[in-house]
Homo-oligomer: A and B are copies of this chain.
Amino acid sequence: MGSITDTEIIIEAVLFASGDPVSLDKIAEIIGHDRKTTRVLMSNLIYKYQNASRGIMIRQIDDGYQLCTKPELDEYIQKLGTVRKRQGLTPAAYETLSIIAYNQPVTRAYIEQVRGVNSDSVIQKLIERNLIREAGRDDSPGKPKLYETTEEFLRVFGFSSLKDLPPLEMNDIPEVMENVPLD
């Protein structure tokens, strides 16, 4: 393998297989040239990769050379990463969120009264997802925590403010809601 091109083929394979930087000395040893010739060769090669239609390039680090992807392609490579699965809200989360959204600030007791089931874990999940947060404490006995929606809630639902919540018609709301006990 005497011609320049053949040497370049060898260098590409060696740098690829290594993954890590390969020293100038090592490259020189492998292709059977002296340091000086190898350095010139590497400079040429770096230039070629930079200007060729390649997704990868050669980076010089101290006296070593390493293959890496071109920075401008980063956005595509990011897509390789495991993306946490797009998750919808569970019906329980929707329900709880809607009660909080339309009645905030609101206590857990109120939510549970309306839903008829324990809502502890679903409230925790909504807090973890930053859709609701604690908002002080109620004045009622026991000083229960209050919950309200967050900016993230607005962002996720595409509201600019809470006024954007789809309006409820008056006859939708049963008068009974006023009477929900807070025990």
Contact = CB atoms under 8 A, between A and B. Distances in A.
Number of copies of this protein chain within its complex: 2
Given A12-B56, A55-B16, A30 B79 contact: yes
B67 A30 contact: no
A14 B77 contact: yes
Nearest to A26: B80
A92 B90 CA distance: 54
Interface stretch (A2-10, A110-118, A126-134): A2-10
Contact of A54 (B9, B26, B55, B79): B9
B80 A16 contact: no
A83 B53 contact: no
B79 A16 contact: no
Interface in A69-91: 69-70, 73, 76-77, 79-80, 82-83
A17 interface: yes
A18 interface: yes
A100 interface: no
A17 B83 contact: yes
Contacts of A31: 76
A31 B5 CA distance: 30
B17 A80 contact: yes
